[in-house]
Amino acid sequence: MAKAEEALGQAGEDTSKRGLRPEDRRASFIMKETHYKKLRDYAYWQRLSIKEALEQVFEEFFKTRKVRSRPRGAEPQGRSSRRGRS
């Protein structure tokens, strides 16, 4: 089975939302080890899950930023589009 088909699962199902609340989406991220450790420690001491702690981080980050929606059909820009930057 092709990777694109695997990501959709059976009958075109979007597996990133399977078993979740409608407003949630499953995602995987690669982050710096130091950031992960701080997030994990913060969550521990605040008695939060890592998900809850990360949601707090996102809420605070987006409070002061205006974000426009991407044009329809546009893919997010990844590292390949940032080459050459230091």
- Does residue 84 lie in a domain region? no
Q: How many domains does the chain have?
A: 1
Is residue 70 over pLDDT 60? yes
DSSP SS3 for 75:
coil
What average pLDDT does the segment 41-57 reach? 97
d(CA 30, CA 59): 20
Q: What's the sign of the alpha-carbon dihedral 15, 18, 24, 30?
A: negative
Decide if 32 is inside a domain.
yes
> What integer pLDDT is reported at residue 86 of this predicted model?
47
Reported as a single tens digit per residue, the pLDDT across 2-15 is 555 555 556 666 78
In a domain, 83, yes or no: no
Q: What is the pLDDT of residues 26-44, one digit of tens each?
A: 989 899 999 999 999 999 9
What 3-state class would DSSP assign to 66?
coil
Q: Does residue 73 lie within any of the structural domains?
A: no
Domain housing 14: 3-63
Q: Is the pTM for the entire model greater than 0.75? A: no
Residue 28 to residue 61: CA distance in whole angstroms: 19
Confidence category of residue 16, pLDDT binned at 50, 70, 90? confident
